[in-house]
Amino acid sequence: MSGCVFCQIVAGEVPAFRVADEPDGMAFLDTRPVFKGHVLVVPRAHLVTLTDLPAIDLPGYFGLVQRLAAAVESGLGAGGTFVAMNNRVSQSVPHLHTHVVPRTRGDGLRGFFWPRTRYADDAEAASYAGRVAAALR
């Protein structure tokens, strides 16, 4: 869809630190991560909310989300993950996306107040993307 930054990332028109690029979806680092290694998973087609995702596509899309949750944990040495999705309200980009956020005990995340951080530079972001991609099964 014209003007959708996630569609532009899927099409290769906007750069992103890609973690996975598969028929069921694409995953890349969030540019404003809650914690470093925070991944966004999007379907390749422009869909706005979870209810727009055809039922036939649920296993493939959520299978990718599930594999990424495992990859974030093992690839980054995280204690767990926070997996979340907004539908319209608080959805900063109107394209279905699932957040996979690495967690560690005592990381300071409280409820839905998400502090944001930045990568030091592109090399650090590429390193995080590479570690998660390498751990993807």
Per-residue pLDDT at 112: 61
| pTM of the model as a whole | 0.86
Which run of H or of E encompasses 66?
A: helix 58-76
The residue-averaged pLDDT of 5-31 equals 97
- Other C-beta atoms closer than 10 Å to the C-beta of 117 total 11
The residue-averaged pLDDT of 4-12 equals 97
Give residue-wise pLDDT tens across range 81-127: 999 999 988 888 999 999 999 999 988 887 666 567 899 999 999 99
Between CA 10 and CA 14, with CA 36 as vertex, the angle to 5 degrees is: 20
Domain ranges of the chain: 5-135
The residue with greater pLDDT, 88 or 67, is: 67
Q: Which of 38, 46, 95, 97 is catalytic?
A: 97
Q: Is 97 a catalytic site residue?
A: yes
- Longest Cα–Cα distance of the chain, Å, equals 41
- Cβ contacts of 10 within 8 Å, gap of 6 or more: 26, 42, 44
The domain made up of 5-135 has a fold known as HIT family, subunit A (3.30.428)
